[in-house]
Each structure stands twice: as structure tokens, then as C-alpha cells.
Structure 1
Amino acid sequence: MRIECIVRRLMVVCIATVVLAGFGSVLAQPSGSLSFYTSMQVDVVEDIITAFEAAHPGVTVELLYSGSVELEQRIYAERDAGQIRADVIWAANPAFFLKLKDEGLLMAYESPEAHAVPAGLKDEDHMFIAGRVFNMGIGYNTSMVSEAEAPKSWAELLEWGSRAAMASPLHSGTSFTALGAFVQNDDILGWEWFEQARENGMQVLRGTGDVTRGLTSGEFPVIKGIDYVLANQAAEGAPVAFLFPEEGAVTVASPLAIPAGAANVAAAQAFIDYIISQEGQEFMATKFFIPVRTDVDPPAGLPTADQIVSLEVDYDALAAEDAELRERFSELF
């Protein structure tokens, strides 16, 4: 009788444990609204959000899109007001994230998926991690310029004068990184490249979207362009192509981070986990981003991150010289 009673008690305990474990797993699922700030192009990021929400149906992503510089200004304004309202920030300027880290504005998070991401693509203190890799190089309109005629180097791009265009680093985060990369590699590019671009009449437009539209419409036969943007345009039938300049592309590891005061930390962590997971990076590859994981193949026709010839960039120096670089560029253009 006593044995039977003990068995019954054990069964009750086991059942209760299973029920509580199941209940706990339900509670552990992220839910609610996720405030997502990004400078990524809307037509690309909306598909990413749809894929994440399908994987996490309890979460609704509230998107705030802005150009990189405007986004940075908004975040600083929110900081000054006492609270950054984003749960996740994903932008194109690594130097900006270094400044946020230095100010103590980011929350450390080491994703269980981070093991597959090389050390060079994540912060050593787990304050941010790259969710995508992309490149700035040369874009050309294939209905106006043949592959043989297209400029193969940054130096050759200068020869196109007013028929070429670039986005302003005063508004585009990627173009700001490119500005720093050119200036830091002064033995082959430097400020001299921009001075020559001005002298030759190269057009400076506001943002990446503006120069891309100029290329697809035929307003400009060549631009300083971004690989994934042009690949997505080409996939939709636009007459555009991308090439890597001989001196080196501007390769950007675009960071993801959680602000220190994030309201929905569980959803923010789930978002980062998804983006850098194998599933997430395979999805990113369908949008022509180069994966940050070593176990995911790049999009067809694109190199892996370690095969790209890139200009070296010192992001700590870029963060420190931010104002000086912007001021000199504004004086030139």
C-alpha cells in the first residue's frame, strides 16, 4: 500500500514537472511589439521582418526606417531625451556603434548563434554583431555600358565625370564608411580622389536610393553602388550590374545591437538570434547579402567574405574623426 502511494506521488510530481516545463517554455517565447530601427532599404527589410514574424508569430515588428545619418541623429536625440526607444538597431556604419558602445548605450548579448560568426564580425564585449556583409563598388547600366567598357577601378570611375554619381556621406552611412576608407588609404585614393571627382564634375546625390534610381533610369551610366542593392534590382529585371574595383571594395559588416534601455529584450534577443542563425543567414543570402556565418554559402555569383579584396578601414579612427571628415567633405561638395 505504501509503495503504491509512493508511486502515485511520483507520478503526480512527474506530471506536474512536465506541465510546468511546458508552461515555462510557453512563457519563454518572445511576444509583444519589437521596435526596430534600421537604415536598410525598405523593400529588403520588409521581407526580413515577414520571415522573422513567421518564425516568431507572437512578435509584431514596428519598423522605423531612415537614412543612416538621419537615423543616427534620431537616436542621439532620443538619448538626450533620456530613452532610446528602439529594441534593435541595425545600420550600416560600424563607427556609429562604437560610439554608442563607448557611451554605455548598448546592452551586451552573446547569442547562442554567435559561435558560427568569425571574431572580426562581432564585438569582443558582445555589444554588437554583424547581421550582413555587403560591398560598395562600381555599378553600371548594362543597356548603356558594356562589361568591357565599364570602369574597373576607382581611378577609372573618375574618368566618367558628370556621367557618374555617388551618394553623399553626409546622408548615407555606407558612403561615410567609404569616405573614411578612401581617406585612410591615402597611398592609392585619399582626399585627392574626392578633389578629382569634384574637378571632373561627378554628381553627389543624397542617398543610396537616389543614385540607384539614377542608374536604373539611365540618368547615370555608372555609379558608386552597393552589391546587394544592384543584385536585387537586376533580379527584378533592371539593366544593372556590379563589379569589384581593382583597388578594393568598401566592405561593410553591418552591425545589430540592442540598446541598453530596450523595452522588449526577449524579442530583441530572438530577432538577433534569428538573423544570425543558419536559417536567417540562408534567407539573407536570397537578398544577395554575403552571409556572416561560415556554414552558409554566399549568393550565386558572389564571393565569400574571405575572397573579397577590400580596402582596410580603422573604425576606431573613423569614429574619432567623424566630424572632421564630414566637415571637409561638405567644404568640397
Structure 2
Amino acid sequence: MRTIAAVAAALSIHATQAIAQDKADVAAAKKEGKVVWYTSTPIETGQKIAKLFEETYGIKVEMFRSGGSAILRRFLQENQAKRINADLLTTSDPAAATELGEQGLFVPFKPANFDKIPEGAKDPNGNFIAQRLNIITIYVRSDKLPAAEAPRTWDALLDPKYKGKMVMTDPSFTSLQLTVVGMNAKLKGWDYYEKLRKNDIMIVQGNQQVSDMIKRGERIVAAGALDSYAAEDRKDGHPIETIYPSDGTYVIPSPTSVVKGSPNPNAGKLFAEFMIGDAVQKLFPEEGSYAARVDMPPPAGSPPVKDIKLLAVDYEYLRKAGPGVKKKFNEVFQ
């Protein structure tokens, strides 16, 4: 099973072997007239992508947006009821995307620019392609916590001086946090989260809620959260510092898959192709996120992924352990 370390290796490669590309049928997609997109993409970015697609092709996008774990639950419930509504699925759970692809729930599709996606961020058979790369960092209110006092490692978050000052997301809602909690618990043991609980860390649903808490100053340390929110908040003038933990940072792809048996299969393929096209991939750095393609720059003021110390992610382990991780987390923080 590939680890996220493969992403860093692939990012240094600018010329890759040519791959036969699948073509979306634009005329058939326009005839269908709409595409239904289930996504955990940050809401404002998702709306911009949908608008760009509608303006380009005249095809309506119906977007259902929620946390990655919530998106997957809805998709699986509908699939089990044999009621397929989504044409395209974008989450932040490569382990789940791999498993669902192996179960035959997706249409293999390798659109234009497939060769520009890092090996660790796509399925070689085309069952998913990364829409973007998610950088999970610590970020703090720099006006309330001087740089010298800010936590610089994951273990530093256990220091009692941060008691009552931290906030983090819930792995039952966001699949990004499921990856972080699953791997941290595997590496450090559940005692790590027991100590975080004793440090009065606040649990909220998703990364937007973390951002809101930090901006309002109700909490001043985001203890492992999506950095694109911090970048966007900085752009809006909020005093926020991003910290890439010196003991390693998680970089997690957001897989996009074309759903098998969907109502608008051609529009789904066209939207998947559009997702890794120039217009969308250039949008991510402008929004403070990392694009999936290796030929795109990092967000302004942020380091290239190849310059960040990465923590490997064992997706095979997460495929098996995911439900137990959610259950144990809820037991610890209930």
C-alpha cells in the first residue's frame, strides 16, 4: 500500500511517462444538463469550482457539501439502498476511496493531466485522482501567543500551559481528522488523546468551526487542522501563524471519483476532468490550498510540499482500523 511519502517523491518529478488519457464526452454531458457533486471541499472553494464549471460548460452543479466522514456515510447509505444520487464524490479519505474502488463502486477514469498527479495521490487504475493536497498543521493566534511560546511539535500540545486554549476537529465528521487521530494513536497510543482531554481541548465538528473559534479568540491553538483555513484567514487580516510541526506534518490527498451507475455519468466524467484542469488547479494556491498537480506552485508564503517533513500515513491500517478509531475517540472525549 502506498504511503503519503510517495507524494513527496513524486513532487520532484516534472516529466513523467505519458499515460493514455480518457476523454469525457462534452456533448453527452451537456445533454444530461447537470452533475451532482458530493464533496468535503471547503464551502467557498467548492462554490467557486461549481461556478467555474457552470460558466465553462453551461451544466448545472448540484453540490452537497459536508465533512468527509459525513459525505461517505451518506454515499454508502444511498448505495446500500440502491439509490445512487451522486455523479462525483470528493472526500479526504484515500483509504476509503481505495476500498470503494476495489469494491467496484467507481468508474475508472484517467482524464487529461492524470500524469501530473503524484503517484501517492491517485489510484493507478483511475478509481480516484486527488483534487488537492491537505496540509494538517498547528496554527495559533500570534497576537495572543508569542512565537517563542507556541507549540512546535505534536507532543508539545500536551503541555499544561495550553490547557483550555486548544481546539480540534472530530474524526466522526471529518475524514482528515480520522487520518490524523488514527495515525497519532497508532504511533503514540491512546494515552496521547487521554492527556489532550485532560488539557481541556475543545472538540468541534469541522475545520470551519476550528477557524471560527480561533478568529474569535475563544481558543488560540488549532491542534492539528487544515492549513488552508489559516491561510485564508491570514489573507483576511487575522493574526494567525501556521506551524509545521518539527516532528512531522500530515499531507493527505482529497480523492475525487466518478460514481458507477450515477444519473449523469458523462457530466460526472467531465467534472472530474475539469477538477484537475488548469482553472481549478490554479484556484487552489490562490485560496491558500495546495493543488494536486506537481506543476502548480504552493500557496503564497507557504513551502513546497517537498520541503515539509512528512509523517507517513498507513492507509491499509486506516482501512481496517477506521471504525474503531472513531469509537475509541468518542469514548475518550464523551
Taking structure 1 as the reference length, the TM-score comes to 0.87
Residue 252 of structure 1 aligns with which residue?
Answer: 252
| Letter aligned with residue 206 of structure 2 | G
Residue 150 of structure 1 aligns with which residue?
Answer: 150
How far 1:29 moved relative to its partner? 6.1
Measure the CA separation in 2 of the matches of 1:122 and 1:47. 23
Measure the CA separation in 2 of the matches of 1:178 and 1:26. 39
> Aligned residues, how many?
305
Aligned 8 A contact 2:163 2:199 in 1: yes
Measure the CA separation in 2 of the matches of 1:33 and 1:312. 38
Report 1:154-165 matches (<5 A). 154-159=154-159, 160-165=162-167
Aligned residue for 1:162, secondary structure, equals: coil
Measure the CA separation in 2 of the matches of 1:99 and 1:208. 25
**Alignment identity in percent?**
28
Residue 18 of structure 1 aligns with which residue?
Answer: none
RMSD of aligned alpha carbons: 1.7
How far 1:28 moved relative to its partner? 5.5
Measure the CA separation in 2 of the matches of 1:315 and 1:94. 7
How far 1:74 moved relative to its partner? 0.9
Residue 215 of structure 1 aligns with which residue?
Answer: 214
| Letter aligned with residue 229 of structure 1 | Y
Aligned 8 A contact 1:98 1:316 in 2: no
Measure the CA separation in 2 of the matches of 1:69 and 1:121. 19
Larger RCO (CA under 8 A, 6+ residues apart): 2
How far 1:26 moved relative to its partner? 7.4
Change (3 A) 1:70 1:308: same
1:53 aligns with 2:54: yes
Deviation digits for residues 209-257 of structure 1 (CA, Å, limit 9, x no counterpart):
2222111100001112211111112212223231111111121111000
Measure the CA separation in 2 of the matches of 1:28 and 1:106. 19
Aligned residue for 2:100, secondary structure, equals: helix
Change (3 A) 1:248 1:30: farther
Residue 175 of structure 1 aligns with which residue?
Answer: 177
Taking structure 2 as the reference length, the TM-score comes to 0.86
Measure the CA separation in 1 of the matches of 2:262 and 2:247. 41
Measure the CA separation in 2 of the matches of 1:26 and 1:309. 41
Measure the CA separation in 2 of the matches of 1:331 and 1:98. 28
Measure the CA separation in 2 of the matches of 1:305 and 1:274. 23
How far 1:198 moved relative to its partner? 1.6
Bigger Rg, structure 1 or 2: 1
Report 1:62-141 matches (<5 A). 62-141=62-141
How far 1:99 moved relative to its partner? 2.7
Aligned 8 A contact 2:26 2:270 in 1: no
| Letter aligned with residue 163 of structure 2 | G
Aligned residue for 2:35, secondary structure, equals: strand
Deviation digits for residues 276-297 of structure 1 (CA, Å, limit 9, x no counterpart):
1233211221112212212111
Change (3 A) 1:144 1:125: same
Change (3 A) 1:266 1:26: closer
Change (3 A) 1:238 1:296: same
Residue 10 of structure 1 aligns with which residue?
Answer: none
Residue 7 of structure 1 aligns with which residue?
Answer: none
Structure 2 residue runs of 5 or longer lacking an equivalent are 1-24
| Letter aligned with residue 261 of structure 1 | G
Change (3 A) 1:196 1:97: same
Aligned residue for 2:148, secondary structure, equals: coil
How far 1:307 moved relative to its partner? 2.0
1:293 aligns with 2:293: yes
How far 1:102 moved relative to its partner? 2.9
Measure the CA separation in 2 of the matches of 1:323 and 1:131. 25
Structure 1 residue runs of 5 or longer lacking an equivalent are 1-24
Measure the CA separation in 1 of the matches of 2:45 and 2:331. 34
Aligned residue for 1:152, secondary structure, equals: coil
Aligned residue for 1:84, secondary structure, equals: coil
Deviation digits for residues 67-103 of structure 1 (CA, Å, limit 9, x no counterpart):
2222221111101110321011111122221232232
How far 1:203 moved relative to its partner? 1.8
Aligned 8 A contact 1:133 1:305 in 2: no
